[in-house]
Structure 1
């Protein structure tokens, strides 16, 4: 049996598709692409799998010209803006495409002349953009149905004409064959004539059957088309009603919040802190999983009670259950004030630079966040194109540097003589970084690949900080801080975020390391989830929720912190954080409590016991045991950290802290890749937002161009490597030991080296040195031109 031939090209309306070589550029030459001809449109994709989501280009054949170059090449152009130079695999295949294109062009031109409906050129291969209006989408879908019905009717008319011709010529052929048969030819000639007669009869019967099937199909399509249109209209109306209902519910929800807040403030029997919304009188939008329960707060993992006064007088060595490390009558955490330059006396002669205390006021630009975000539900936040109107005039690298707002906690930890005391300071430091976010609903600028930021506070505070954007996909920033007061901080943070319709969840990924020279203690912890509520309507507010384990890898000590999510129905204080410091054996030494936006306190544990079962009747032995809580007898709580007050009129300056106001201050001697040099960020800070938006688009397009160039270089490197080895290499460039430090986007960081963390085993970027030396000498040859 002979091999079946490819389908014959058909006129416009029927889909004709296949592989064709397309000219791309002088470097890559002709590349194999998947072309689809449908409804008068010629579209192409890199692969067949892209047909569902990414169309690389489309030409309307109604206004296009088709030219033949040679045996296999042909050119399609729509008048200069788009030209496709194509090459088929053989001359026969080229002719099939030319025939299909010419027929499609003729029919598309005729349909365009006959129809006034602008939706006739709707392409099944390239759907409209998802952010189109509902009315436009509905009109396009209706046009598609009408166009399909018209095409089917036209096809059946063509088939009917062909049927009449087949019947006419078939009858004439049969008459001629009958005349030949009447000649009573014998032998081989007579057999041949009878065979031809039989085949002609079968051909006519088959043609009639095909025509009848097409007519039946058209009748069914016309009968069901009205039903399809009604169903489509009903779905569209229902979607519009749901959107309107959602917006009304959100407004009602916001009104109920205000009413609840007013009632809570006037009711003297309620806790003034725990009943006024998400702290300090703000409205809240509770989490979806917690909206319909009567008692929202989770039961505490432990209970603290004041210790007996005898514990304040006795030595811990004489009382059973005391902590062996603790003093008898003091919390023993060092509260000695730190001199600004205690470790660098030689710097006292140099005056400290006066930092700015104000930035230009935020302009009053009104922009509806929901109008941009409603079509981005479920997407990664970093991939949503956002204007600077929703930003604050600092980058993510500068936001990371804001973690050092309360660096004094690490300074005190470095002076501590006890590893457990030091752990308390580190835990308080991990909490303090969230206090700057309570009013900060603006989005920081996404750093460009290779962008850096230095925070040199050696004279004022004894530390130097450096951040670099080491990866763009996924976005990741490496951060390294060295302090002359005996500690080092490093982290690499990748932010994963999702827009959920009613709120945005931001999940920082990566580990933070704090290393102290004294005792060689090495601590690690991770950040909790940040949630931005009231995206649809109402005042935006931020909540932190999750758990943190601060671990001392040197001693095995641990501090478990729990950030309680906000709840309307909780009787507890909003934004509450609780923590328990235990040694390697699990014995409790300190209890931490407070809020992440105001202050934290610590209490030393003197004794612990299992509490009695909570009330609730006979629940069985196992149930009662499950409800028992550990009771810790503690000394009087003392404050370990409190939030610094915001500057005057902070609400007009993006609610920046005193440190945040200085982060984008122009400074001489910084690297050309420093965030202070970003033109869009500087324009936004100055209040020139329209210019900032244009500059932001320019920088993003420049970054995309550089990325494409790196990809081409990587592809060329792989090709040359394969040529030298003489075999096809399936692995990517990361398998090459010489290129192992290159991240996923083929970019090698300048000031950080990629390696496996010796503590966690995670792939991280660690500072390789050289930045501050380069700053001292003013040599920045290795820095790229990213701005």
Structure 2
């Protein structure tokens, strides 16, 4: 076949670049290889350099080309048909280098053709919006990734060729070692030399490809590191800006609190707020921002003025209709002044045996920093009990122990039990209701979620005359039952389910369920609900707690009622922060007492001597004017112990709640290991232990579900069941097969509140006296 002499160039399809091989085939050398585009797809042939601009003598697609060796310096490129080109190198080494380079280009061409067949849009057109910053940046990133991917593919091709030529060289060496006739030795040595040269050229190509990839990767790495550093600097500036805003926020708050004169437009002494969150209803997300910071406050529904001096000069017996109440009031005030001077934790004077000395300190809180926002930013709108939180945001007490803290001011109920007037008794019960929030003002730590079946006893029978027991009776939703009774003649019981939502800027905690108090002597039965607790400044600033909403304390026997309002905190109110007001009325709606104060400091009550309708408020509502006797303090918060700021702001009672105690149930919160580790300052170990306990609880739930499904599907049980109302109960349990039953409490339909709740069924204190806890599950 005649030889087609001339020049040839490489052309890459879908691109405009053309690389020339500027020597004829008889003098192809290294400089040609350096100027050739060896990533070309098509080889074009020209007779002379002058023809390169207008006359092409033929082309060969490298993807389908055949490359063969003729002798030590010549090689052939053909398309398997009529076109064949014989090329000559200056030496055998240069021939091998050309063959290796052309094989690399052929492998690349085959790969590009396969990619083109798979997808015709590997290089999409620029969108009309690509001029925008974000789209341009995305296009640049995609282009960089494509380039790097191309280099990786080159490395893969070189690696394949190295494997191919290395295997061939290994076979030739094996054949050379196996020769026994010296005649064929020269031919085999020549073959080994050729293949070694080919392997060396392929290895050099791999080295060059690696060098190119490394250079490009380092270049782009510097750009990405610079972009990352820019993002870090912007984040630091943002954090500094937020910190400055928080400082300005706190500065403005301090300046406002220190101001003594306000503009007339803010002089309205509001006692409530319509926007406050009720304890019975959830607020909408759209109104949440205005709910706690609305400067337009509702006018007061009533105002109080000092009663006429004649009421002070008269005795209680001269006032018609309320003589017994007035007389009782005078007696109760004297009793109040005496009783409030005593410490609730101090021993009774008549105690014959020495009272146990309770601890007054716990280990200081470690200074472990963890950003709350970093965890909660992905939890907006979720239920708090379903958010996995590390112990870093907890306090070393469980929710059961926090419920038991409601009894810190138990003496209010002791006094209420001695009252002869139900209306006066209502004042003490209302004050007790408010006092339960006094411990929350600085307590921003989250209590531990109790495990199902966890209990907590507070046995202060010798010191204070009461015993208290809490049990976690449900896990989803989390519900705790509480029962306390006193030898002074009162019983307190409650079942609380916490509904909580994280709103982004703040956290709302809505306790669901009712609290009931029964007095044995009078048989008065009171009930009320809790208000909404809000944790502010989740994102920036210092966390702070607010209580807002309304409470109706109802005496179901007499029909008496006390309506309490917890005013939400407002920067623009002239009233004292955390204000609480209330009016005690009888079954006919007649007002008898007014209560006022703050839920974090003290409460006072005043007897109403006369009431009248006053002038209209700013919204046209007529306000009631109450003429009252001088206010008497009914409750005052106990001072915090020394160093409380380093001990989670625990009160004197809270410091004793997790103190180890002998004889308690194995399910008692004091025995909970993760809580104990946190109290001792071992937070990492506490987090690990917390995860173990939660997984153990999940495993126990799965086992109960399996047992429930197995029991429901057994034929003996199916035959024992008769059709009727019970069938719906079976279907309900099938849908929710966790049939856990509380150990010390039983579920009933309460005729007073109309709710289904758990009440104490007995047996706990008897089991404690006997030291028999066989019924308790292993939950720790």
Alignment of 1:543 with 2:535, yes or no, is no
SS at match of 1:426: helix
Contact 1:558 1:583 in 2 (8 A): yes
Contact 1:600 1:642 in 2 (8 A): yes
Alignment of 1:564 with 2:557, yes or no, is no
SS at match of 1:520: coil
Contact 2:712 2:730 in 1 (8 A): no
Alignment of 1:458 with 2:461, yes or no, is yes
SS at match of 2:714: helix
Query: Closer, same or farther in 2 for the Cα pair 1:712/1:495, shift >3 Å?
Result: same
Query: What CA distance in whole angstroms lies between the structure 2 residues aligned with 1:503 and 1:471?
Result: 26
Instruction: Give the equivalent residue in structure 1 for 2:499.
Output: 496
Q: CA deviation at 1:323?
A: 7.0
Alignment of 1:422 with 2:425, yes or no, is yes
Query: What CA distance in whole angstroms lies between the structure 1 residues aligned with 2:689 and 2:457?
Result: 23
Contact 1:475 1:495 in 2 (8 A): yes
Query: What CA distance in whole angstroms lies between the structure 2 residues aligned with 1:327 and 1:251?
Result: 58
Query: What CA distance in whole angstroms lies between the structure 2 residues aligned with 1:246 and 1:497?
Result: 30
Deviations 1:135-183 (A, max 9, x none): xxx99x999x99xxxxxxxxxxxxxxxxxxxxxxxxxxxxxxxxxxxxx
Q: CA deviation at 1:721?
A: 5.4
Instruction: Give the equivalent residue in structure 1 for 2:478.
Output: 475
Query: Closer, same or farther in 2 for the Cα pair 1:743/1:636, shift >3 Å?
Result: farther
Deviations 1:5-47 (A, max 9, x none): xxxxxxxxxxxxxxxxxxxxxxxxxxxxxxxxxxxxxxxxxxx
Query: Closer, same or farther in 2 for the Cα pair 1:733/1:289, shift >3 Å?
Result: farther
Q: CA deviation at 1:746?
A: 1.3
Q: CA deviation at 1:298?
A: 2.1
Query: What CA distance in whole angstroms lies between the structure 1 residues aligned with 2:539 and 2:292?
Result: 17
Contact 1:296 1:570 in 2 (8 A): no
Query: What CA distance in whole angstroms lies between the structure 1 residues aligned with 2:737 and 2:600?
Result: 37
Deviations 1:291-316 (A, max 9, x none): 886x4332111110000100112256
Matches within 5 A, 1:678-689: 678-689=672-683
Instruction: Give the equivalent residue in structure 1 for 2:406.
Output: 403
Q: CA deviation at 1:761?
A: 1.6
Instruction: Give the equivalent residue in structure 2 for 1:433.
Output: 436
Alignment of 1:747 with 2:740, yes or no, is yes
Alignment of 1:759 with 2:752, yes or no, is yes
Q: CA deviation at 1:252?
A: 5.5
Contact 2:562 2:583 in 1 (8 A): yes
Q: Give structure 1 stretches of 5+ with no counterpart.
A: 1-109, 116-133, 147-238, 276-285, 617-622
Q: CA deviation at 1:265?
A: 5.3
Query: Closer, same or farther in 2 for the Cα pair 1:345/1:429, shift >3 Å?
Result: closer
Contact 2:256 2:571 in 1 (8 A): no
Q: CA deviation at 1:335?
A: 1.9
Deviations 1:72-98 (A, max 9, x none): xxxxxxxxxxxxxxxxxxxxxxxxxxx
Instruction: Give the equivalent residue in structure 2 for 1:289.
Output: 290
Query: Closer, same or farther in 2 for the Cα pair 1:267/1:480, shift >3 Å?
Result: closer
Query: Closer, same or farther in 2 for the Cα pair 1:734/1:362, shift >3 Å?
Result: farther
Query: What CA distance in whole angstroms lies between the structure 2 residues aligned with 1:609 and 1:341?
Result: 40
Instruction: Give the equivalent residue in structure 1 for 2:768.
Output: 775
Contact 1:473 1:744 in 2 (8 A): no
Q: CA deviation at 1:627?
A: 2.2
Instruction: Give the equivalent residue in structure 1 for 2:171.
Output: none
Matches within 5 A, 1:562-711: 562-614=565-617, 626-711=620-705
Q: TM-score, normalised by structure 2?
A: 0.63
Which one of 255, 278, 281 corresponds to residue 263 of structure 1?
Answer: 255
Contact 1:471 1:743 in 2 (8 A): no
Q: Give structure 2 stretches of 5+ with no counterpart.
A: 1-110, 117-133, 147-230, 268-286
Q: CA deviation at 1:260?
A: 1.2
Query: What CA distance in whole angstroms lies between the structure 2 residues aligned with 1:734 and 1:403?
Result: 39
Query: Closer, same or farther in 2 for the Cα pair 1:726/1:340, shift >3 Å?
Result: closer
Which one of 355, 369, 373 corresponds to residue 372 of structure 2?
Answer: 369
Query: Closer, same or farther in 2 for the Cα pair 1:352/1:589, shift >3 Å?
Result: same
Query: What CA distance in whole angstroms lies between the structure 2 residues aligned with 1:634 and 1:748?
Result: 51
Deviations 1:707-750 (A, max 9, x none): 0011111111111158733999999987269x99x997311000
Residue range with higher mean Cα deviation, 726-735 or 533-542: 726-735
Query: Closer, same or farther in 2 for the Cα pair 1:348/1:328, shift >3 Å?
Result: closer
Q: CA deviation at 1:637?
A: 0.5
Q: Which runs of 4+ in 1 moved over 4 A?
A: 239-253, 290-293, 315-324, 336-342, 344-347, 726-734
SS at match of 2:762: coil
Matches within 5 A, 1:121-136: none
The aligned length equals 538
Contact 2:293 2:571 in 1 (8 A): no
Matches within 5 A, 1:5-404: 251=243, 253-264=245-256, 267-269=259-261, 288-289=289-290, 295-315=295-315, 318=318, 325-327=325-327, 330=330, 332-333=332-333, 334-335=335-336, 337=338, 348-404=351-407
**Max Rg structure:** 2
